[in-house]
Amino acid sequence: MTNAQALPKKPVLTLSALDQFTGSEHWYRQALVRDILFTDGAKYVADTAGACWLLDEIAFAQRFNKPVAAEGFQLWKLQVDLDKHSAVLICEDGNYNAVFTKSIEFTDFPLAEISFYFTDNVILLPGEY
């Protein structure tokens, strides 16, 4: 294979790339919790970073964690230790009160931190709110 035939490079997830998401033209149905939707920006993160698992975690918490499900507006933060390849996933109620925390033993997520909102059964990036 010559350079001219080389496969295109996969996009790399960056914070600046996430700035392009200021709304969503499409909503996608979460595969395992069918009444949960997600936006173009959330799909971009999942596809680009191989992080469908992250959307799954947010969706599963709506079904299996009553304190989380009781919150109409949620702020989800993934805080990654890039050196140790581990992370903590936190759900806050919008007033800086944590209602859910989960340790992630291994992740190759490329950013030190990312946030999502969850409201009205939709997972979205803060810029899409």
Pairing of β 122-124 and β 37-39: parallel
The span from the CA of 39 to the CA of 20, in Å, is 13
Helix locations, the chain, DSSP H: 15-18, 40-49, 52-64, 66-69
- pLDDT (tens, 9 = 90+) of the chain, 129 residues, equals 555 566 666 788 999 999 999 999 999 999 889 999 999 999 999 999 999 999 999 999 999 999 999 999 999 999 999 999 999 999 999 899 999 999 999 999 999 999 999 999 999 999 999
pLDDT, position 83: 97
Q: What is the pTM of this model?
A: 0.90
The span from the CA of 45 to the CA of 113, in Å, is 12
The span from the CA of 17 to the CA of 117, in Å, is 18
Count other C-beta atoms under 10 Å from residue 65's C-beta: 15
Nearest alpha-carbon partner for 46 in 67, 35, 32: 32
pLDDT, position 28: 96
pLDDT, position 11: 80
pLDDT, position 79: 98
In the chain the domains, ranked by start, together with CATH numbers, are 27-128 (3.10.450.150)
